[in-house]
Structure 1
Amino acid sequence: MAKRALPQPSSERRQRGFEPAFGLMKEPVRAAGESRGFAVARLLTHWAEVAGEELARKTRPVKIGYGHGGMGATLTLLVKATEAPMVQMALPVLKERVNSVYGYAAVSHIHLTQTAATGFAEGQAEFTPAPKAPPPPDPVIEAKAHEAAEGVDDPSLRSALEQLAQNILTRARP
């Protein structure tokens, strides 16, 4: 029986094992971003970090348009009509944050496009509401958790054990 030669690994094949999910999506995101004028994909993928949590809930970056001279781009943001006046007041701060991503004054204007809460087409630019505060813990469960961690002297360890006990006591059981 003749032995077959093993196929040579192609240069395209990854030989590093598991990769982070974003590593697999980096090129498609970059290509999609560049088609909309975003030379730095970080502006799209990390919008909450760039704009801040409050402004990120109210806005979505749509495109960057460059003028004829190439200097001073215009960033177009999607914003709910009810939030537009508040976002308008925060534009100077937002412009500084966006330009810090680029490393120079790439964006000279920010244009707001007002829309409904779900964007132009339903579901394409959904604005997430502010997260709801968790309900206060049940006093009976708090007392049981405090009782469970009662003998521990270290305050940080006792606090962690109380939190663990509360999580165990409040979890849903099948």
Structure 2
Amino acid sequence: MRQKIRELGEARGFAATRLLTHWPEIVGESLAAIAKPLEVRHPRGKKAAEEGATLTILALGAAALRLEMEKERLRERVNACYGYNAIARIRIKQAGPEAFAKAPAPIPPPPAPVPPDAVEPLAKDVKDTELRLALAALAANVLSRSRL
């Protein structure tokens, strides 16, 4: 399991997976409830030696404003985790509550098919065949959605 976490962390730029696995301990429970680390971007080329990395944090909606005011304190805590000044900037990205859900939302089942005998009477007086079929299909769609 440790190897899998390391591989996933490194894919998002996290050299130290401790930032991912111990996030609530590093930033505190109250901030961990509204924010989580998303990725670390390291500059390339000549800038790499001069500048530090950028940590992107996913924030819960309006909590981004609170995090914006606490950026410097967050940066200090994260750098304390690394043991050196690895993170130079923090970028905050807003997300909805579904990004913080413990389990993904269940996929709703497809609507039950509408029996043809419920749709045919609705379009029976229409003489044009194409129009009658189109109206029957529309009625079937409307009826299937209204049964949800």
TM normalised by structure 2 equals 0.63
Amino acid at match of 1:85: L
Q: 1:126 aligns with which of 98, 101, 105?
A: 101
Where in structure 2 are the equivalents of 1:67-106 lying within 5 Å? 67-68=43-44, 69-70=47-48, 71-106=51-86
| Mapped pair 1:52 → 2:34 | no
Q: Which residue of 2 aligns with 1:169?
A: none
Amino acid at match of 1:118: E
Give 5+ residue unaligned stretches, structure 2. 103-148
- Aligned-pair CA distance for 1:91: 0.9
RMSD of aligned residue pairs (Cα, Å): 1.2
Q: How many residues align?
A: 98
Q: Which residue of 2 aligns with 1:117?
A: 97
Where in structure 2 are the equivalents of 1:127-166 lying within 5 Å? none
SS at match of 2:39: strand
- Aligned-pair CA distance for 1:126: 2.5
| Mapped pair 1:61 → 2:41 | no
Distance of 1:113 and 1:85 partners within structure 2: 11
Amino acid at match of 1:126: A
Higher helix share: 2
For residues 46-93 of structure 1, what are the alpha-carbon distances to aligned partners after superposition, in whole Å with 9 as ceiling and x for unaligned?
A: 000011111101101010000122231000010012111111111111
SS at match of 1:87: helix
Identity of aligned residues (%): 40
Structure with more contact order per residue of length (Cα contacts < 8 Å, sep ≥ 6) = 2
Distance of 1:64 and 1:50 partners within structure 2: 16
TM normalised by structure 1 equals 0.54
For residues 116-174 of structure 1, what are the alpha-carbon distances to aligned partners after superposition, in whole Å with 9 as ceiling and x for unaligned?
A: 1112xxxxx427xxxxxxxxxxxxxxxxxxxxxxxxxxxxxxxxxxxxxxxxxxxxxxx
Distance of 1:42 and 1:74 partners within structure 2: 17
SS at match of 1:75: strand
